[in-house]
């Protein structure tokens, strides 16, 4: 399982919420390592209005980028009405469905 911040890392000041700094592209961020040869990928975020700022959008960008590369199995789900932790606690059905799809080659 990878962290949801697919593009950015903490600003150099050490605080992700520091208003005077700009987040930088992190060399270890998943967006820096996309490939159509990656294993199946399931991305789940909360509602864009309730999750961590830009989290859903970053994950949508990752999914769209993988699809554009020809990745055969990537899903992104935004759970309407859920905040960050609520999305994690509410995604069991998505994980189960995704694993069934991947393991049965459906």
In-domain check, residue 14: no
Percent of the chain with pLDDT over 90: 36
Q: How far apart are the first and last CA of the chain?
A: 22
Quickly state the pLDDT bin for 1 (edges 50, 70, 90).
Answer: very low
In a domain, 92, yes or no: yes
Residue 49 lies in a domain: yes
90 occurs within a structural domain: yes
**Cβ distance 38 to 102 under 8 Å?**
no
Number of structural domains found in the chain: 1
CA distance 51 to 84: 5
Instruction: Please check the confidence at residue 104 and state whether its pLDDT lies above 80.
Output: yes
Q: pLDDT of 20-62, one tens digit each?
A: 555 566 777 788 889 999 999 999 988 888 887 778 888 899 9
Q: Retrieve residue 1's tokens.
A: 């399982």
Domain residues for the domain of 63 are 42-103
d(CA 37, CA 73): 10
């Amino acid at each position: 399982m990878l962290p949801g911040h697919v593009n950015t890392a903490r600003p150099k000041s050490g605080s992700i919420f520091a208003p005077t700094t700009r987040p930088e592209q992190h060399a270890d961020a998943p967006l820096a390592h996309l490939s159509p040869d990656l294993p199946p990928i399931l991305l789940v975020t909360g509602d864009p209005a309730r999750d961590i700022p830009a989290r859903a959008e970053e994950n949508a960008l990752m999914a769209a980028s993988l699809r554009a590369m020809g990745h055969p199995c990537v899903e992104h789900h935004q759970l309407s009405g859920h905040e960050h932790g609520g999305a994690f606690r509410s995604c069991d059905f998505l994980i189960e469905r995704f694993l069934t799809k991947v393991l049965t080659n459906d």
